[in-house]
Amino acid sequence: MVLAGGFGTRLRSLITDVPKPLAPVEGRPFLIHLIEKWVAQGAKDFIFLLHFEAHLIEAILHDIQRDKTFGDLKIHVITENQPLGTGGSVLNAINILNIKESFLVANADTWLSDGLSELNNSLPNSIGAVSVSDCSRYGELDINDGIIKDFMEKNSSRRPGMINAGLYHLSPDAFSGFPKNFNFSIEREVFPNVIKTDELKAVELDIDFIDIGIPEDYLEFCNWIQKE
């Protein structure tokens, strides 16, 4: 599942005409770079969860399927009539598609150079974790023997540490008990529940990580990809 329904308000000072996943990078939408990277890691079956400017993203996905840009991909699109948050979006997809098996979830505004196989081979419920030099923007993960014990608040720590990479292997059961068509967050509501009732595992990834959610990091990614 690809979370691609957000409003991208923090990036609006630079990108005004398209939603954040379609921010231009080297002449192509950021989402195209992501899909290319995911396919290179073996992904072929996608569920895109959309809301804001969904028609623009759908058009790009239609072109990918029509032109077989990345081969024969299975692409399913779910467009929400109202914003459901990260958790509500996933629960909505679980209900619509009657999903019984565990699945991967990725953010459409986060670049990871690898990690799909590691998460796919992990046990649900697991979070990809990456090391950064400054945790203050993201919030730090409290990890003990591979198990996540707590999530530190954003801006509480400027020291190096492990953060949520925005790539998950989750079970449908993690979303049980939440009402349908309700706006809630995976990070703030689902994960704390899992921590209380079960083990929430950390899969530490030694990979490149860039979240393009703010202008300076978007520009950093544009410069980085240009040098690749």
pLDDT, tens digit (0-9, with 9 covering 90-100), for 140-172: 999 999 999 998 877 656 788 999 999 999 999
pLDDT at 15: 83
Higher-confidence position of 17 and 148: 148
Average pLDDT over all residues of the chain:
93
Q: How far is CA 57 from the centre of its chain?
A: 16
Which residue in this structure is represented by tokens 């804001």?
52
pLDDT at 8: 76
Domain of 213, CATH number, reads 3.90.550.10
Q: 183 phi and psi, to 5 degrees?
A: -85, 115
Domain that holds residue 211: 2-227
Number of domains in the chain: 1
Alpha carbon distance 116, 203 (integer Å): 11
Whether residue 80 contacts residue 89, with contact meaning beta carbons closer than 8 Å, is answered with: yes
pTM value is 0.94
> Closest Cα to residue 221, out of 78, 43, 18, 31?
31
Q: Which tens digits make up the pLDDT trace of 23-82?
A: 999 999 999 999 999 999 999 999 999 999 999 999 999 999 999 999 999 999 999 999
Q: 188 phi and psi, to 5 degrees?
A: -90, -25
pLDDT at 106: 98
